[in-house]
Amino acid sequence: MKLKVCGMKYNPETVAKLQPDYLGFIFWESSSRYFDKEFPSLASGIKKVGVFVDEKIEEVIRLTLKHKLDAVQFHGNESIDYLKKFKKAEAFKLNEADILVKSWECKITKIIKVFSIKNEFDFSVLQPFEEVCDYFLFDTKGKLPGGNGYTFDWSILENYPSTKPYFLSGGIGLNNLRQIEEFLKKPESKYCHAIDVNSRFEDEPGLKNIDDLKKFKKIVIDNQ
């Protein structure tokens, strides 16, 4: 089981010392965790994930190139056609100098598509995305795209019809330790690639509590 810590803003280098598998940086200006700082130097093995919400494809590509992102997480209403265009993405004008990036090789950048769940979910909506996404991410449906601080009913994943690996997200914290332990024993966890944490490990939006993250990682990730 892998760990993704999302919503990096104020102390990403300190979080990186815990050696999570993924660090998520939010490039959505309306978020209280919007990342607009100098990108930190991270140890090898930690994958950088850029989180976008209905952003222009050109801007996603620009930031992917600038920050050498290992994965992009689409957290809005991006369509399958949008993701295909991003995957292909040839000859886009990326900056003021009209530099053209031709034959943009996006194959090295993994695509994570987020789907929000509340009380129920129609898994048939996943099918068109199978061909273009590398991972799905299941989050709790709330007022904002992510960081709402509460979980959805994981038993819904009993009906997961795919073999596509997924991230489990949505209000996960230290109070979910027993719930996670029980979930990981169930068949529906077979394709759970990573646990994604965010707001439940913060002293304020974007400032992670290192002691809590260390405890969570030791119990949930390192002991698997």
For residues 199-218, average pLDDT: 96
**Number of Cβ atoms within 10 Å of the Cβ of 60:** 23
Q: For residue 195, what pLDDT is reported? A: 97
Are the C-beta atoms of residues 86 and 54 closer than 8 Å to each other? Answer: no
Are the C-beta atoms of residues 55 and 67 closer than 8 Å to each other? Answer: no
% of residues, the chain, pLDDT over 70: 87
Question: Can you name the CATH fold of 2-221?
Answer: TIM Barrel (3.20.20)
pTM of the shown model? 0.90
Residue 111 has pLDDT above 80, yes or no: yes
State pLDDT tens for residues 57-84: 888 888 888 888 999 999 999 999 999 8
Residue 98 has pLDDT above 60, yes or no: no
Residue 142 has pLDDT above 70, yes or no: no
Query: How does DSSP classify residue 18?
Result: T
Domain extent listing, the chain: 2-221
Structure tokens at 132: 């273009």
Q: For residue 212, what pLDDT is reported? A: 97
Three-state DSSP at 19 gives: coil
Residue 150: pLDDT band (50, 70, 90) is confident
Residue 107: pLDDT band (50, 70, 90) is low
Q: Give 178's Cβ-side CA count (13 Å radius).
A: 1
Residue 53: pLDDT band (50, 70, 90) is very high
Are the C-beta atoms of residues 217 and 16 closer than 8 Å to each other? Answer: no
Q: Give 2's Cβ-side CA count (13 Å radius).
A: 14
State pLDDT tens for residues 184-197: 999 999 999 999 99
Cα–Cα distance measured from residue 83 to residue 73, given in angstroms and rounded to the nearest whole number: 11
The two beta strands, 47-52 and 135-140, are: unpaired
Which residue in the block uniquely carries the two structure tokens 């010392």?
A: 17
* H-helix or E-strand spanning residue 93: strand 92-93
